[in-house]
Structure 1
């Protein structure tokens, strides 16, 4: 059993990583207008880095503290951990301060008159910051900072000053919650105000997936800012009045859901006309996708009144003449095998030919899954006698 302190440490660490990811998206969105040719990486050269041609041009260290309680005093571990990383980089590449900017973003505060305070954008004094840092490094007894002090002091004085001239401290930066609000403000003109939370939710969902790909090696190590811009354009288009966002086109139902849906009337209808197991599996998948997508649209209030009812009426009215024509072709007293064959013919049309968009959404799963939702309520059917062979039950939905 983990102790309370251990749980807090794990939570703080996880929050820090999430903060890095969200901060990276925020800085990326802000940079698109001025430097769209750059790429963004996480945990590659630094916490966050802007790159060009595979080389970093800006390194960002992100320090997150709950309620912004951290402070960047001259002996701050946040400050010295960061300086150690950057000093070691300069030790390997003396030209780094002339081609790369070093940014420390922290939710904490740099006291006025401190070394970090002298490295803000305004009222900078790199020489005074250097003096304070050298004093701290030579007089402090901190074991935590010992290796950091050494890494900094091992640099020649001019190299230390060059590094400090390339450093920008952004204290009082937004925390993980605030940066979400800042991002929301940055994107306020992307879509209508009532759609902005949904737009941001989908953008962040895509971004976190993209970052995971970068960190695990299954995606690009450095993410082009143009990829963020393209995703924003795609989402913006999906929230136009005549559009709907599509979230479930590639989703597969969990095994437990498959087992539950396998008992539903729409599946019994398929088995009544001897549909093969693989096609039943595909039908369950389409039902799941259509049901979940339509439910999400409804929850997010993206549908206008009566829109789904009109769509379903269109499907039913397309099915009706085909169903009645198939029945008319059957002779009185025909065998059940002939009825099964007639049902298969109707279902094959719904399965392979039916194509009915909802607004601009033309997705196979939506049309076919919606037919299965109707079949689940017995509003449509495939076997000529489906109404009596698959009676309604408590699972109809």
Structure 2
């Protein structure tokens, strides 16, 4: 069985959850601090996903700083100074409601995804490690995964697994197949959220039989021989339970996180900025019947209420809501958020609606087997329509 998530309901639920919690907290306080985030809700998973987002945002800013060509950020004294700077910032987290509420909403939505579809969630996390060591990425983020943690725990420091993302995904899939009957039921995890803000599980998801072409998010093609080799590697691998010493710094927030999860770290937090994936040099060519007709699409949206909205969107990546992000990533971009981001950036470079649809047809419709009549494609094209004020 597979899980199909009602993405629109999920978005509304996440926003409602965040509003209720923020109404209660900010009724008497103006700012949220780091230590208060850890205790904000009864769901440890939600709390830690908020912290994860904060440190990822910090790392993105740090990478921008390091891109300055005039200074050597590899110098040891600079490295130590940056560590101290990070510690000072972690003790000084101070967020107003306007900036905190969206973070909390995202944390709730990602928690729901992790509970309902852990295989897809962790595949997405592995994709985020593009350009860096998958093992280092998972090791640096392991403490934030409170639900379905067993699926990735023994993949860290595992002998016999190569550093490629595909190898980790294969090992993850085998873990899931072996453990799926012992995993905590999604309903049990979601009960933590339901106790805070009403959650209708019947509306949120439904179990559907997998079709012949595979689960909702396709796994990479794998031969029987490759599967057997991977199973042998997993059987022979020794699971290392490494206990490392905490960093000797004065960092109250990090220390509290360490005490909560009982898994102190050895070095600085490592977060790798999401990189744009490599797009294949050759694309699968879609049949003419499957291609999107740009003239027909433009006329359709112009004849509807969206006509007044054309040219109203700036950067596409900044105008994708939580609901759309989940829908587009899962249903159009094979569960790969980086691929979606690359697509949006590529479309932003187009000078007209016609050229954007041409790019979409050439790169994605055939390669990712889009159904041009699906709800996801319809909503994606609406967003692209709003990007341009001329057809071209």
TM-score normalised to structure 1 length: 0.25
Tell me the TM-score normalised to structure 2 length.
0.25
